[in-house]
Amino acid sequence: MTRQNQIAALFLCACSLSYAAYAADDITIANFDGADYGAWKTEGTAFGDKPAPGTLPTQMNVTGFVGAGLASSFHGGDATTGKLISPPFVIERNFINFLIGGGKDEAKLGVRLLIDGQTVRTATGPNDREGGSEQLNWTNWNVSTLKGKSALIEIYDQSTGGWGHISLDNITQSDTPKQSGPAQRVITATQPWLLLPAKNGGPGRHVTVSVDGKPLRFFGMALADEEPDWWAELDLSQWQGKQVTIATNNLPDGSKALEQLQQVTEIPNQAQTYNDPARGQLRFSSRVGWLNDPNGLVYSQGQYHLFYQHNPYGAGGGNTLWGHATSPDMVHWTQQPIALYPISPSDQVWSGSAVVDKNNTSGWKTGPNDLIVAAFTSTSRGECIAYSNDKGRTWTQYESNPVVTHKSDGRDPRLLWHEPTKQWVMAVYNDDTTIKESSQRRGVDFYTSPDLKKWTYQSHSGGYWECADLFELPLENGQKKWVLTDASSDYRIGHFDGKKFIPETPLLAGMATPQGAAPWRGFYAAQTFSNEPKGRRIQIGWFQSHTNGKPFNQSMSLPNILKLKTTPLGPRLTWTPVPELESLRAQTHHLGKQTLVETGPNPLAALKGELLELRAEIDPGTANEIKFNLRGIEVIYNASRSEISVGDKHTFAPLQKGKLDLTIYIDRNGIDLYACNGLVFMAMPIYPDANNQALSLSAVGGVAKVSRLDVYNLKSSWK
């Protein structure tokens, strides 16, 4: 080739490259950055009259869109429906790329490409279960065989349930496909724990953990692409030496999420974790993650077992399974490996209970240990049974699960042994839509079984909510009554014959409302221990203490003894703290009898502390108010109204034999108050000022007599 021909060839090649680059430029179909939808047409209300600027009211944080806006069908929430339809355009490139997020339901929710009125391509969002995130990710359609044809894009939303919305942005024609693909990492399990990097408020991703190719764990979590806020924990102990694959969806380019996975021999920084300034020091909370309802409270072989609703992979709800902790005294708790896991991505393990099958009625007992049997709600199946022969460490699910199903909304099975009829009873919430009277539809169904396997429906008791508990208690005269309570802690007292509960009282207010309307709640879904060794009826509830921005969230209440007390209004429940809490007393201050006057000295002036127990007995005398200030939290008894308040929350508190008796616990994350011989119980998630340890007591408007005033400085239950 001559030099002139070489130059000519180079020139033609350059021109060709220039033309090819120009020809390959992306063509924008829509970027949704304008003040309205332009030539796009809307139907219905789901897409509003203009693009969303990002996150809409009540929506989780929306991420991953490009520019100033996106097309979202969340205008008005998940219940709205509608369409967003493009003007016609000619397909000129090999691919149509777009960012998509929201719900997953191709029949009702998504985006489709139409040619001559026929659907030729479709896509839907990634989220079809609780959890997930509002992140948009790249996907594409290969339209190379459709080039030159006229087409429309229709974004549609006919879904009205959870995740009933779709999000789209940056729709472009291109010769280069864009795709946010899944990512995975394969490890050989050599240590008992795998730490996963977590980012509070980050985009949620679906994670699947497979062992030797079999998917065994399914959860959503906000994996940290860069520096994590904290580390979630995955138990590898039963998979040692096996190949474990951790797979997730739609990691952005450059994400370090899987790269940061760490195998460790033990959980690091546990002492620091349990001493966090926001963590309660007198009550149980999970090491990391979210908890709510206590489940499966049972005593066996020297240990109190506390199972609980738990999300170990995030500080919010979701991924629900059964966490597990044990204690010799209900005060000092040790977290154990997770007990019950979901069986599929669409499953969660909801609330339930546990018993000891002393007579091996089920036939499942092997070995010397107690046979512990649990009942729980599997959201994909119904009410299920599992059992353990190794002190609750590992569990076998009954092969014929579920044992009970519901036509509508049912959950939270409570097991108990009914001695007079020699049978097992299951009390389980059910919304029975066949009942004509609407107030009775929601209630408790009762089933019976000789062996925990085959269950027979017996009756329905209406007027209750979820998380039922049923137990028998004696009155002072020895007469026994049955108590049926629900998650609210409200209850009825009556008779139970093993098949049907017959109430003898109206619905009575529970925690914080002994004889009045409920002013406030911070205590929910309480359950009592089965097989308690001293025959006591001991209750623990969900103490709703929020710890935003921390690796852990929520905690359990103090354990309380329930009794029945005769009052002028009839029998009533009482709550008193278990005496085992006295083991936390580090310093004792018996201040003896005191006279309180408005301008008199403060009998608590010389005392201070962070963790406290206070016990007092006071005759209000002529005083209008008895006022405590405990680390900045005001506790006031109003004599004229017979009312006690904590902060701005209050409840009726009648004097007992002319005196006010009080027991108060102050923790880092709340206050627990008992009064009126246990008729008043207030569990209050309040965070005292960490810098204020001062205490005071005074009378207002008169003179009061203190016959007992004891203060105890407490030590942490975690030490």
Domain harbouring 189, CATH code = 2.60.290
Please tell me whether the peptide bond between 294 and the residue prior to it is cis, using omega within 30 degrees of 0. no
Overall size of the chain counted in residues: 719
Tell whether the torsion through CA atoms of 298, 300, 306 and 310 is positive or negative: negative
Question: Active site includes 390?
Answer: no
Tell whether the torsion through CA atoms of 163, 166, 169 and 173 is positive or negative: positive
- Of 78, 157, 293, 469, which is the active-site residue? 293
Same domain, 214 and 241: yes
Q: Is 237 left (phi over 0), alpha (psi -120 to 50) or beta?
A: alpha
Residue range 46-60, pLDDT digits in tens: 999 999 999 999 998
Q: Could you say which of 121, 147, 174 is where a domain stops?
A: 174
- Pairing between β-strand 134-135 and β-strand 62-63 as defined by DSSP bridges: parallel
- Are 293 and 314 spatial neighbours (Cβ–Cβ below 8 Å)? no
Chain centroid offset of residue 463 CA: 24
Within a domain: 9: no
Tell me, what's the pLDDT at 131? Answer: 66
- DSSP one-letter string for 186-233: EEE--SSEEEEEE-TTPPPEEEEEEETTEEEEEEEE-B-SSS-SEEEE
Same domain, 674 and 660: yes
Q: Tokens in use for 321?
A: 């399974």
The CA angle 633-639-643, to the nearest 5 degrees, is: 55
Within a domain: 531: yes
CA–CA dist 38, 73 (Å, integer): 17
Same domain, 160 and 210: no
Residue 706: closest CA among 636, 618, 601: 618
Domain harbouring 367, CATH code = 2.115.10.20
Average pLDDT score over residue span 236-259: 91
Half-sphere exposure of 330 (CA within 13 A, CB side): 26
Residue range 261-307, pLDDT digits in tens: 999 999 999 889 999 999 999 999 999 999 999 999 999 999 999 99
Same domain, 360 and 505: yes
- Are 338 and 312 spatial neighbours (Cβ–Cβ below 8 Å)? yes
- Are 37 and 51 spatial neighbours (Cβ–Cβ below 8 Å)? yes
User: Given a cut of 80, is residue 21 above it in pLDDT?
Assistant: no
Q: What are phi and psi of 152, to 5 degrees?
A: -125, 155
Same domain, 415 and 337: yes
Residue range 199-227, pLDDT digits in tens: 998 888 889 999 999 999 999 999 999 99
Within a domain: 97: yes
Residue 12, helix vs strand vs coil: helix
CA distances from 521 to 25, 285, 524, 682, 685 (A): 60, 19, 8, 8, 9
Domain harbouring 635, CATH code = 2.60.120.560
Number of domains forming the structure of the chain? 4
Domain residues for the domain of 148 are 24-174
Residues 6+ away with beta carbon under 8 Å from 501:
444, 446, 459, 461, 470, 482, 484, 492, 494, 495
Within a domain: 4: no
Chain centroid offset of residue 621 CA: 46
Residue 165: closest CA among 31, 52, 86: 52
Tell me, what's the pLDDT at 691? Answer: 96
Domain harbouring 81, CATH code = 2.60.120.200
Same domain, 198 and 325: no
Same domain, 195 and 136: no
Residues 6+ away with beta carbon under 8 Å from 231:
195, 196, 197, 198, 262, 268, 288, 551
CB burial of 633-656 (b: ≥16 within 10 Å; e: otherwise) equals bebbbbbeeebbbbeeebbbbbbb
Residue range 301-347, pLDDT digits in tens: 999 999 999 999 999 998 999 999 999 999 999 999 999 999 998 89
Within a domain: 111: yes
CA distances from 195 to 64, 235, 289, 319 (A): 26, 9, 13, 17
Chain centroid offset of residue 119 CA: 41
Within a domain: 72: yes
Residues 6+ away with beta carbon under 8 Å from 176:
24, 95
Tell whether the torsion through CA atoms of 506, 511, 515 and 516 is positive or negative: negative
**Quick one: 614 exposed, middle or buried, by C-beta within 10 A (0-12, 13-18, 19+)?**
buried
Average pLDDT score over residue span 621-635: 97
Half-sphere exposure of 705 (CA within 13 A, CB side): 5
Residue 413: closest CA among 460, 377, 443, 362: 377
Residue range 360-390, pLDDT digits in tens: 999 999 999 999 999 999 999 999 999 999 9
Kindly report which listed range (15-24, 144-153, 281-290, 457-466) carries the lowest average pLDDT score.
15-24
CA–CA dist 232, 83 (Å, integer): 40
CA–CA dist 695, 606 (Å, integer): 8
Q: How confident is the model at residue 254 (pLDDT cuts 50, 70, 90)?
A: confident
Q: How confident is the model at residue 178 (pLDDT cuts 50, 70, 90)?
A: confident
Neighbours of 516 (CB within 10 A): 13
The CA angle 132-134-136, to the nearest 5 degrees, is: 115
- Are 80 and 46 spatial neighbours (Cβ–Cβ below 8 Å)? yes
Same domain, 589 and 608: yes
Residue 421, helix vs strand vs coil: helix
β-sheet bridge partners, residue 306: 325
Tell whether the torsion through CA atoms of 74, 80, 86 and 91 is positive or negative: positive
For a pLDDT cut of 70, what percent of the chain falls above it? 95
- Are 592 and 501 spatial neighbours (Cβ–Cβ below 8 Å)? no
Same domain, 592 and 467: no
Using only C-alpha atoms, the chain has a radius of gyration, in whole angstroms, of: 31
Within a domain: 285: no
Residues 6+ away with beta carbon under 8 Å from 232:
195, 196, 197, 198, 221, 288, 289, 312, 313, 314
Residue range 669-695, pLDDT digits in tens: 999 999 999 999 999 999 999 999 999
CA–CA dist 428, 569 (Å, integer): 29
CA distances from 420 to 359, 417, 478, 517, 533 (A): 15, 9, 17, 36, 20
Within a domain: 323: yes
- Are 659 and 676 spatial neighbours (Cβ–Cβ below 8 Å)? no
Q: Could you say which of 577, 610, 628 is where a domain stops?
A: 577
User: Given a cut of 60, is residue 518 above it in pLDDT?
Assistant: no
Same domain, 540 and 678: no
Same domain, 497 and 516: yes
Residue range 440-466, pLDDT digits in tens: 999 999 999 999 999 999 999 999 999
β-sheet bridge partners, residue 208: 218, 247
Q: How confident is the model at residue 9 (pLDDT cuts 50, 70, 90)?
A: very low
Same domain, 246 and 117: no
Q: Could you say which of 174, 201, 234 is where a domain stops?
A: 174
Element (H, E) at 393: none
- Are 694 and 618 spatial neighbours (Cβ–Cβ below 8 Å)? no
Tell me, what's the pLDDT at 64? Answer: 86
